[in-house]
Structure 1
Amino acid sequence: MPKIALYEPDIPQNTAAIIRTCACLGAKLEIIEPCGFLLSDKRFKRVAMDYFKEGEIIFYQNSEHFFEEKKNERVLLMTTKASIPYTDFQFQKDDTLLFGRESSGVPEFVHKKVTHRLRIPMVENKRSLNLATSVAIILSENLRQIRIQ
């Protein structure tokens, strides 16, 4: 089962849309806290609908706890700062796909802790895709690759 990890997400509607994507595509969701919103936020609940089951999401108190739990696993950071396009990368079944905070990505120390950094190729002079869209793109490629292995 693929694993999607969100680093301190701060937009409730994006996190809710990612919950739905993970539920529909069979991925496990992991959230590194603190979140920039409450899970009781009505914007979050409206988008997540009945897909959100708190027991199915793993919450980490902070990034130190997350990386301690992942010390024997590959953690792949999706970032606009990477040089390797995700289309040129070979995913493995136990990879954790880490996505940064919508407003600020991840701090430098997270960049140093991950196994690989990947990017989604985009046209020049565009900042980034929506987080939920990025998760859907990367998760789809991950699933395509691990199903043919």
Structure 2
Amino acid sequence: MSEVITSLQNAHIKLAASLKQKKYRDMHQVFIAEGTRLVEEVLKSDWEIKFAIYLDSVKNERILHLVDELKTRNCALYRVNQSIYDKVCETKGSQGILLVVKKHQYNLSDILKRAENPVVVIMDSVQDPGNVGTIIRTADAAGCSGVILTKGSADIFNGKTVRSAMGALFHVPIIEDVETEDLLQFVKKNSIRTYAAALDKTAKTYFSCDFAKPTAMIFGNEGNGVSDTLLIGASEKVFIPMQGDAESLNVATSAAIIIYESLRQRISRNC
């Protein structure tokens, strides 16, 4: 059964509304997954749902099916009117359903459990939530073993990041706030070769590198690129050749190109 909430002062509504801010997501260790696609992806995963909120005016069959499925899982369901729903949702024209989900914490060792020959995506202080979410989505689509974000990167539980990742957040191990030295020790200990994307005279073209062995690909901050510490610690520096007038590519675009080259090589080796 679902409970009807009619007050903005309700504790569940106040909690959900507060999760637009990182400090409250961190305090309560929960975040919002909003919209039918994300709700479906959460239900496919083992992530813990704390409660669901949905519009009392919803008539969409897809959403009503999700409500029924949540009921079968004994999930706490709260039905609200439009004004209350607008208080907690982040998007205009929202589809009318959202979940408050408990954060799932991973360790660096979880990446190694996914594959004997890991391929890892590293974001070094990538700050735009849309870029972070898009790169996570690409990493998942390409079958990467995990994603690592160094300190200074965007919060993966930011609403824009969650939406940009399009559910990939719930399917690939992601480790946040990793110190640079801990990262370098991890890849060295596990014999993972690191390739740092860089506009550098000593860099190699990305398609001349061997990504078929244990590999980590490093993509840097939108304005400053990969940090000097990681550039020095990387096994190779790589670049994407460009023949037009553009000075650089968006970091999410660069990541997609190189990540899919690693997938192409792995598929070719296994044929």
Checking the alignment, whether the CA contact within 8 Å between 1:34 and 1:61 is kept in structure 2 is no
Between the two proteins, what is the percent identity of the paired residues?
26
CA contact under 8 A between 2:137 and 2:169: conserved in structure 1?
A: yes
Verify: 1:41 aligned to 2:158, yes or no: yes
Superposition pairs of residues 97-136 of structure 1, within 5 angstroms: 97-123=217-243, 125-136=245-256
User: Which shows bigger deviation, 52-61 or 134-143?
Assistant: 52-61
Partner of 2:140: 23
Match of 1:85 in 2: 205
Q: TM-score, normalised by structure 2?
A: 0.50
Task: Structure 1 unaligned segments of length 5 or more: list them.
Answer: none
In the TM superposition, residue 48 of structure 1 has moved relative to its aligned partner by: 2.0
Higher relative contact order (CA 8 A, sep 6+): 1
* Secondary structure class of the residue paired with 1:129: coil
- Residues 123 and 55 (structure 1 numbering): CA distance in 2 closer, same or farther, change over 3 Å? closer
Dislocated runs of 4+, deviation >6 Å: none
Cα RMSD after superposing both structures = 2.0
Q: What is the CA-CA distance between 1:136 and the residue it aligns to? A: 1.0
The CA deviation string for residues 20-78 of structure 1, in whole angstroms up to 9 with x for no partner, is: 1112221121211232x333422222212322138721235211110011113211111
Structure 2: segments with no counterpart, 5+ residues: 1-117
Distance 1:39 1:146, change over 3 A: closer
Per the alignment, do residues 26 and 15 of structure 1 end up closer, same or farther by CA in structure 2, a change over 3 Å counting? same
- The separation in 2 between residues aligned to 1:91 and 1:42, in whole angstroms, is 32
Q: Which has the larger radius of gyration?
A: 2
Whole-angstrom CA distance in 1 between matches of 2:126 and 2:143: 21
Aligned to 1:65: 182
Query: Which shifted more, 52-61 or 73-82?
Result: 52-61
Q: Which moved more, 1:24-33 or 1:44-53?
A: 44-53
TM-score by length of 1: 0.87
Amino acid at match of 2:225: G
Residue type at the aligned position of 2:230: V
